[in-house]
């Protein structure tokens, strides 16, 4: 946690800030979804409350909070109440381990009679050396909230919806993991910071052992793993139960699937969990395939030297560079979230057997093929000439 009180305090504040960031993006995301879907469907969205309908979410939150809390009489109480909470926890934990910007370096300063040493604060809630494996493991715990919600409601339709949803989730986790193995092969590391740092500058690859540079393309992961990126994107739609894979929670199919018996604020927590998972998925897409928080063609050191010309102290320079790169990451995340919303209101829904066929008979073989081809290409082009 830190060696002295300043570091511990900043780390605590960082954890709270990252959690609040995730929770605050969710209302904005719901607004974007409602207005965006209205725009796609050629109608107005909510536009009466507040300018452009921005306060609609506040009104909705008040509505949710003041609704009558009902509990089905024969439900299993503890599991029924615990399921929405457990829906939120994996998303928050996974979001906390993704680096949101470059580390902030605070140089030694004097305050209150003692000197506080130089610190380096990574711009994430906590740092894990095994970033990818941890995020995969934590997001696979999301299946429990579905199962607990379905079973705790003591309702046949909820149980069926929950079993379908969790079966879908664990089927697509395989494709997801295998698509990410391609990234591991290319970048040789589990940790997110190293993957992001390897995506600076212009596109550099080795062609039969000779390093080549393409100056007009950024050094992003998507150029190394195009098939992997596509497979990851499809798998992550199914992981977050988003259309076109949202049969388990579709209205009109199984009443409302696993959250039939939830109303009021408990259902809101399910939605926060779902949008939280979407946020984590978009952040991972940006980190693995689109350079993370790096601005294309401008590495962190160059940005800091540009900012240093204004005569700020190194602490302020590092903080400003981190904020600018954080904005770059947020832009990329917002782009992917918009694509999520766009796809939702464009494509029709898959039937359940089509969904499982796609996961096992299409995605998994292609992901395996991607792994094999990546391994062969990496060996022939890079490793064999060392």
Partner 1 sequence: MDVSALMFYFFAFLIVAMAVATVATPHPIYSALYLAGTMVLLAFVFIGLGAQFIGGVQLVVYAGAVMVLFVMVLMLFDLQREVQKVTAHFGQLLLKLGGASAIAGTLVGAITMSSPMVLTRPGSPGESAPVISTLDLSRMLFTEYLLAFEVLGLLLLVVAIGVVSVARMKGGTHAQS
- Interaction between residue 306 and partner 1 (CB under 8 A): no
- Cα angle vertex 134, ends 132, 139, to 5°? 100
| φ, ψ dihedrals at 202, nearest 5° | -90, 165
* Buried-exposed string 253-270: b where 16+ CB fall within 10 A, e elsewhere: bbbbbbbbbbeeebbbbb
- Interaction between residue 232 and partner 1 (CB under 8 A): no
Smallest distance, Å, CB 304 to partner 1?
30
Closest-CA residue to 27 (of 71, 62, 3): 62
Smallest distance, Å, CB 185 to partner 1?
12
Smallest distance, Å, CB 200 to partner 1?
23
Is 80 or 336 the residue whose CB approaches partner 1 more closely?
Answer: 80
Is 18 or 149 the residue whose CB approaches partner 1 more closely?
Answer: 149
Residue 235 · residue 363 · CB < 8 Å: yes
Which structure tokens are listed for 9? Answer: 């305090």
- Interaction between residue 163 and partner 1 (CB under 8 A): yes
Residue 161 · residue 258 · CB < 8 Å: yes
Is 129 or 226 the residue whose CB approaches partner 1 more closely?
Answer: 129
For residue 231, give Cα distances in angstroms to 80, 164, 365: 34, 21, 11
Is 55 or 89 the residue whose CB approaches partner 1 more closely?
Answer: 89
How far is 75 from 296, CA to CA, in rounded Å? 53
Closest-CA residue to 328 (of 218, 227, 242, 224): 218
- Interaction between residue 138 and partner 1 (CB under 8 A): yes
Q: What is the maximal distance between C-alpha atoms in the chain?
A: 70
Is 166 or 282 the residue whose CB approaches partner 1 more closely?
Answer: 166
DSSP letter, residue 200? -
- Sole binder of partner 1 in the list 166, 168, 241, 370 (CB under 8 A): 166
Which structure tokens are listed for 375? Answer: 């391994």
Closest-CA residue to 36 (of 50, 48, 52): 52
- Interaction between residue 173 and partner 1 (CB under 8 A): yes
From 33-41, 157-165, 199-207, 332-340, span contacting partner 1 (CB under 8 A): 157-165
DSSP letter, residue 190? S
- Interaction between residue 150 and partner 1 (CB under 8 A): yes
- Interaction between residue 128 and partner 1 (CB under 8 A): yes
Which of the residues 181 through 220 are near partner 1 (CB under 8 A)? 190
- Tell me how crowded residue 182 is: count the other CB atoms within 10 A of its CB: 27
Is 49 or 167 the residue whose CB approaches partner 1 more closely?
Answer: 167
- Sole binder of partner 1 in the list 19, 81, 144, 342 (CB under 8 A): 144
- Interaction between residue 22 and partner 1 (CB under 8 A): no
Which of the residues 77 through 106 are near partner 1 (CB under 8 A)? 79
Q: Can you name the residues that pair with 111 across neighbouring β-strands?
A: 114
Secondary structure tally for the chain: helices H, strands E = 13, 6
- Sole binder of partner 1 in the list 72, 103, 122, 177 (CB under 8 A): 177
- Sole binder of partner 1 in the list 9, 117, 137, 365 (CB under 8 A): 137
- Sole binder of partner 1 in the list 15, 38, 55, 167 (CB under 8 A): 167
- Interaction between residue 1 and partner 1 (CB under 8 A): yes
Is 101 or 158 the residue whose CB approaches partner 1 more closely?
Answer: 158
Smallest distance, Å, CB 152 to partner 1?
10
Closest-CA residue to 266 (of 22, 56, 20, 83): 83
How far is 22 from 277, CA to CA, in rounded Å? 10
- Sole binder of partner 1 in the list 16, 62, 108, 170 (CB under 8 A): 170
* Residues of the shown chain interacting with partner 1 in the complex, contacts defined by CB under 8 A: 1, 79, 128-130, 133-134, 136-138, 140-141, 143-144, 147-148, 150-151, 159, 162-163, 166-167, 170, 173, 177, 190
């Amino acid at each position: 946690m830190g060696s002295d009180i300043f570091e511990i305090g900043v780390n605590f504040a960082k954890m709270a800030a990252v959690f609040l960031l995730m929770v605050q993006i969710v209302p904005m995301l719901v607004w974007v979804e409602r207005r965006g879907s209205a725009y796609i469907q050629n109608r107005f969205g909510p536009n009466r409350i507040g300018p452009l309908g921005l306060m609609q979410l506040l009104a909705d939150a008040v509505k949710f909070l003041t609704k009558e809390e009902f509990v089905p009489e024969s439900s299993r109480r503890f599991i029924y109440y615990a399921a929405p909470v457990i829906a939120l926890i994996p998303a928050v934990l996974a979001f906390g381990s993704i680096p949101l910007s470059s580390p902030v370096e605070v140089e030694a300063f004097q305050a209150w009679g003692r000197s506080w040493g130089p610190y380096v604060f990574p711009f994430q809630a906590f740092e894990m050396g095994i970033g990818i494996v941890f995020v995969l493991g934590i997001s696979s715990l999301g299946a429990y909230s579905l199962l607990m919600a379905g079973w705790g409601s003591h309702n046949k339709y909820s149980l069926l919806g929950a079993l379908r949803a969790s079966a879908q989730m664990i089927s697509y986790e395989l494709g997801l993991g295998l698509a990410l193995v391609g990234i591991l092969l290319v970048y040789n590391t589990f940790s997110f910071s190293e993957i992001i740092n390897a995506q600076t500058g212009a596109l550099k690859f080795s062609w039969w052992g000779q390093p080549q540079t393409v100056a007009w393309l950024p050094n992003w992961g998507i150029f190394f793993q195009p098939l992997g990126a596509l497979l990851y994107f499809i798998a992550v739609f199914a992981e977050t139960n988003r259309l076109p894979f949202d049969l388990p929670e579709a209205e009109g199919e199984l009443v409302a699937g696993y959250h039939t018996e939830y109303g009021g604020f408990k259902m809101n927590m399910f939605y926060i969990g779902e949008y939280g998972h979407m946020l984590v998925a978009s952040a991972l897409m940006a980190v693995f395939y689109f350079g993370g928080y790096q601005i294309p063609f401008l590495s962190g050191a160059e940005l800091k030297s540009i900012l240093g010309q204004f005569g700020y102290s190194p602490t302020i320079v590092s903080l400003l560079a981190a904020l600018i790169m954080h904005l770059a990451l947020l832009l990329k995340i917002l782009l992917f979230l918009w694509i999520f919303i766009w796809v939702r209101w464009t494509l029709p829904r898959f039937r359940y057997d089509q969904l499982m066929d796609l996961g096992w008979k299409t995605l998994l073989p292609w992901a395996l093929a991607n792994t094999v081809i990546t391994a062969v290409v990496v060996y022939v082009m890079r490793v064999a000439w060392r």
